[in-house]
């Protein structure tokens, strides 16, 4: 019986260690955290003689895990890892960050000419403006006459215009 108790306690300890690895080293809640929780619950379930004893073990285990998380947050380890995950600064035009214009709907139904070979992406001149376009799937030769058939956000879809 003592051998089994050692195995059950080992399951709980390994589970707590895996949760600690998840909290301190691996951002997010992935395999290590889930495996740790499963091992902790399995160890508690197998080690308990009665339901009340299992509940007590479970409470102690979760309190210990909560204490571990609290210490991690207070020492700043979690905060430093969190800072590496999320962007701390906002992008602005002065720093060179410019969002693409989304007013391409004005090209819908217009005609133009292909500046490059489209297989299926390329460049075209539409209404005197150079724009990146995508054909609806077919190749379009350089210099061919094209028509805009759809606009999806910043994606302009063209078709070769039959003359």
Spatial CA neighbour of 102 closest among 50, 62, 143, 154: 154
Q: What is the pLDDT of residues 84-93, one digit of tens each?
A: 666 666 666 6
> Total structural domains in the chain?
2
The domain boundary, picked from 85, 118, 150, lies at 85
Q: Which residue has 């204490």 as its token pair?
A: 67
Residues 138, 81 share a domain: no
Q: What is the pLDDT of residues 99-122, one digit of tens each?
A: 666 688 999 999 999 999 999 999
Residues 78, 115 share a domain: no
What is the residue range of 147's domain?
104-160
Q: What is the pLDDT of residues 32-67, one digit of tens each?
A: 888 988 898 888 778 777 878 878 877 887 888 788
**What's the pLDDT score for residue 144?**
95
Residues 114, 76 share a domain: no
- Give the distance, in angstroms, between the CA of residue 69 and the centroid of all CA atoms in the same chain: 23
pTM over cut 0.75: no
Q: Is residue 27 part of a domain?
A: yes
């Amino acid at each position: 019986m003592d051998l089994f108790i050692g195995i059950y306690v080992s399951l709980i300890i390994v589970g707590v260690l895996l949760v600690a690895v998840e909290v301190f080293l691996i951002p997010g809640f992935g395999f290590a955290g889930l495996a740790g929780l499963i091992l902790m619950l399995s160890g508690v379930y197998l080690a308990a003689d009665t339901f009340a004893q299992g509940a007590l073990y479970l409470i102690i285990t979760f309190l210990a895990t909560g204490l571990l998380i609290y210490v991690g947050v207070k020492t700043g380890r979690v905060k430093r890892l969190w800072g590496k995950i999320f962007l701390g600064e906002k992008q602005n035009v002065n720093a060179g960050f410019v969002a693409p214009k989304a007013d391409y709907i004005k090209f819908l139904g217009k005609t133009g000419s292909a500046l490059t070979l489209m297989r299926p992406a390329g460049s075209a001149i539409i209404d005197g403006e150079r724009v990146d376009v995508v054909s609806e799937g077919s190749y379009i030769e350089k210099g061919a006459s094209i028509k805009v058939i759809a606009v999806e956000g910043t994606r302009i879809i063209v078709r070769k215009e039959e003359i």
